Amino acid sequence: MDSREVVMRHQQLQGTLHERLKRLCKNGKFQIKQVYLKLIPEYCKVEWKGLMLHTSVHPRYRFILWLAVHKRLATVDTLLKIGITVPTDCIFCKHSIETFNHLFFECPITKRLWTKLCSWLGHKRNIGDWECELEWISKKAKGRASINSITCCVFAMTVAMIWRERNRGRFEDGKYDEYQICKEIVLHIHVRGQHNRKCRELLQKLDWIP
């Protein structure tokens, strides 16, 4: 396909070839950049963009968070839909069927973990469902305060740890230890925070494990 075909087929551009090319000019000069920008698909803006791009979130936790935001984690309800039969009980509370929403944070065990970490950070609040928590943390990601950066990192780690412990419990007969998870998250936050002066000052007040 040549450049003429690309311009004529593009749905965002209307009119004759000459009229379309005029829209791709800047200061009277044709720019390849304008063509490139027009070729990029337009998607609706999402509130969690700032969270996913936040520099405080380690890449290994960002990947799991990205899957969670898109609800692409292979929870039991998802596996059943594609014909894979697995034990349905939540490995944390042992009472409810494991669904994405139950895992984050309808399950009393995972809800308690996130509640503890929020309290550690000084956020005294009632924990809601996944959509509620995602909306809350997405707003925090837009703030510039150090506590917001730390909170974003803790949230991403919490999601990743819940998923890791779920897999360990389901496939490796691992034992859930809330204190050890909190300790791992706190130590990670303190290590990463040493590179930021403002975070160091704040972390001096967070020198305990919830």
**Tens of pLDDT, residues 28-82:** 676 667 666 666 666 678 889 999 999 899 999 999 999 999 999 999 999 999 9
| Residues 55 and 73 reside in one and the same domain | yes
Q: List Cβ neighbours of 131 (8 Å cut-off, separation of 6 or more).
A: none
Given a cut of 70, whether residue 173 has pLDDT beyond it is: yes
| Residues 35 and 127 reside in one and the same domain | no
| Residues 145 and 78 reside in one and the same domain | yes
| Residues 129 and 196 reside in one and the same domain | yes
| Residues 102 and 185 reside in one and the same domain | yes
210 found inside a domain: no
| Residues 61 and 106 reside in one and the same domain | yes
**Mean pLDDT of the 154-160 span:** 98
| Residues 162 and 70 reside in one and the same domain | yes
| Residues 179 and 143 reside in one and the same domain | yes
pTM for the model stands at 0.81
| Residues 107 and 174 reside in one and the same domain | yes
| Residues 121 and 22 reside in one and the same domain | no
If pLDDT is split at 50, 70 and 90, which confidence band does 2 have?
Answer: low
The number of domains in the chain is 2
**Domain residue limits at 173:** 48-205
Question: Are 134 and 48 spatial neighbours (Cβ–Cβ below 8 Å)?
Answer: yes
| Residues 78 and 32 reside in one and the same domain | no
* CA nearest to 93, candidates 85, 84, 101, 102: 102
User: How many angstroms separate the CA atoms of 101 and 110, rounded?
Assistant: 11
